[in-house]
Amino acid sequence: MNTGQKLKQKVVRICRLLHQKNLIAATDGNISVKFGDGLLTTPSGVNKAFLEEDQIITVDFAGRVIEGQGQPTSELAMHLAVYRLRPEVEAVIHAHPPLATAFSLAGASLEQFVLPEVVLSLGVIPTAAYATPTTAEVPLAIRELIKHYDALILERHGALTVGRDLIEAYNKMEKLEHTALIIFAALQLGGVKNLPAHEVEKLLQMRFSQKLQSS
């Protein structure tokens, strides 16, 4: 089995995991991963729970289809923008995690230091301003945030995560929604207490050291 086939298998598996974990529904969401001189992307208008390897589309970094039937994801411009701004990124996932999306509908933020493991893995989770889905507004809305963060909420439009491979990008999406669930539960129980400033500083230093070691 060649590298391309193995990557396609991973894309299919991640799509099914996203559906099983209730991070996407119906034809929601899209995935891309670097391959050769271009990207493997999920197709537009396909329920990702039933995605097959032969439906995955190969595009170049200008967005032109190299191989595959149908249309690549309608959010391809957003994916391409991420790769231009973050050359080290190898995979991008856009999903519609319900609670994280609900936070943006309510005007509530996840951009706070409350869980040590989230500070270590994600830093904070900012929210990008609303942009009409599938339009050129979306790359513009994420432009400044994606330079500094690996997980973003897209106001009224789900979330975006990036990674050095598909598994890392997926883990960050799962972590993002799990964080929203914990914070939501804490709010129901009376409120959220932020980590002390000295602890945040210690965790951020550890995060910085981990990133240096992995670069």
Cα(160)–Cα(152) distance, rounded to whole angstroms?
A: 5
Catalytic residue among 52, 53, 75, 201: 75
Specify burial of residue 180 (Cβ count, 10 A radius: 0-12, 13-18, 19+). buried
Cα(132)–Cα(14) distance, rounded to whole angstroms?
A: 26
Which of 98, 92, 97, 102 lies closest to 170 in space, CA to CA?
92
75 catalytic? Reply is: yes
Residues carrying an active site annotation: 75
